[in-house]
Amino acid sequence: MQAVGVDDRDVADRSLELSDGRWIAWTEVGPVGGAALLRFPGVPGSRWAIRADRAPWRERGLRVITGERPGFGRSTRLPGRGFAEHADDMAHLLDHLGLDEVYVCGASGGAPHILAFAARHPDRVRAVTVIAGAARLSDDEVDQMIPINQRGYRLTQAGDEAGLRELLQPIGERMLAEPLAGFLAQMATAPPEDQAVMSDPGWQQPLVKAIREALGGGIDGWVDETLAMFGDWSDVALESVTASLTWYHRPYDPECAHCRRPTACRCPPKRKAGRMARRRPLVRVLPRG
């Protein structure tokens, strides 16, 4: 199964060496003087997890910056990382780009990184939007998830990194060899409305490139991400999130299960959690306050 190619000539592909010798990579779309939007992709994702139809970004004059976490794509691995490390990497990136404040958005597995960034660098965040974001799980919620996430959670809780690698390695190889078919195979039990979205060529095109880039160097980043995602989230201080935050979720999502009380509701006041009937490409920019 193949997705039609997409024209990415309007995308700047960049990288930066940090003071510790690691490299981080990102992509940029849009005018340098535009309103800056910092995006955090899902899992396994890379800096190329950007929508094929970028007209909504152009219409709003956005400068869209999509980060890439350690161990994925061209970004150096950082074993044992949680969420704070990437949050601080993105702050260094903003320093490099000369940006004081940005809007922030992302989805799925990008959610805890977004929260960590908003908590650790509150003065740099104008507003936050999270779409179908991953939340820290309780044991009784695990069975609601798709099988790969159930197994990943239990292996992480057991401290079995070797077992986690055994789980992810063949899946990663299949996804790398045939990104679209491999990904859709893992989503075979997803709800019908998700299947409809995933059948859209406009959705499939960037997925193929993002997965090939994310996993081209191996599964180390995916392993590290899974260990953090299903860990204790000790470096995410929700009480320190001060920006306007909107969290879109569904009552039931087996790919990215939510706690009964959405994570956004555990932050201080001025947060809101809204339900959505189905997912769609969405950017909502909220004013400060």
Least confident of 68-72, 252-256, 280-284: 280-284
As a 3-state breakdown, the chain gives helix, strand, coil percent values, each rounded to 5, of: 40, 15, 45
Least confident of 160-164, 176-180, 207-211, 251-255: 251-255
Domain boundaries of the chain, sorted by first residue:
12-275
pLDDT band at 204 (very low <50, low <70, confident <90, very high): confident
Tokens read off for 153: 């959670």
Q: Which residue has the higher pLDDT, 189 or 26?
A: 26
Model confidence at 279: pLDDT above 60? no
Rounded to whole angstroms, what are the CA distances from 266 to 122, 168, 183, 211, 286?
A: 17, 31, 32, 32, 20
> What pLDDT digit, counting tens, does each position of 82-112 carry?
999 999 999 999 999 999 999 999 999 999 9
pLDDT at 160: 98
pTM of the model: 0.85
Instruction: Give mean pLDDT, residues 4-15.
Output: 83
Spatial contact of 31 and 58, defined as CB atoms under 8 Å apart: no
Q: CATH homologous superfamily for 12-275? A: Alpha/Beta hydrolase fold, catalytic domain (3.40.50.1820)
